[in-house]
Amino acid sequence: MSRSPVQGDFGGAPAAFDGNAEGSRNGHPSTARCVSIYGGEMGAWWEMRCKHGHGWSVYVQEEAEPAEEQLVCKEDDLPAVTAARLPLADRAEIRIVPAAWERDGHTGRTDGYFFEVRSALHPEKVLRSGSSMSWDDAIRCAAMFREVPWSQAERRWRNIRALRRGMV
Q: Which residues bind Zn ion (CB under 5 A)?
A: 50, 52, 54, 73, 75-76, 78
Which CB, 75 or 111, lies closer to Zn ion?
75
Query: For residue 99, how far is the Cα from the chain centroid?
Result: 22
> C-alpha angle 32/36/40, rounded to 5°?
125
Alpha helices in the chain (DSSP H): 21-25, 135-143, 150-159, 161-166
- CA dihedral (131, 132, 134, 140) positive or negative: positive
* Secondary structure of residue 131 in the 3-state scheme: coil
* Secondary structure of residue 148 in the 3-state scheme: coil
Taking the complex as a whole, how short is the minimal distance between the CB of residue 46 and Zn ion, in angstroms?
15
Which CB, 27 or 105, lies closer to Zn ion?
27
Taking the complex as a whole, how short is the minimal distance between the CB of residue 73 and Zn ion, in angstroms?
3
Taking the complex as a whole, how short is the minimal distance between the CB of residue 20 and Zn ion, in angstroms?
20
DSSP state of 78: P
Cα separation, 45 vs 65, in Å, equals 10
Cα separation, 90 vs 117, in Å, equals 12
Query: For residue 138, how far is the Cα from the chain centroid?
Result: 17
Which CB, 72 or 148, lies closer to Zn ion?
72
Which CB, 58 or 73, lies closer to Zn ion?
73
Which CB, 51 or 109, lies closer to Zn ion?
51
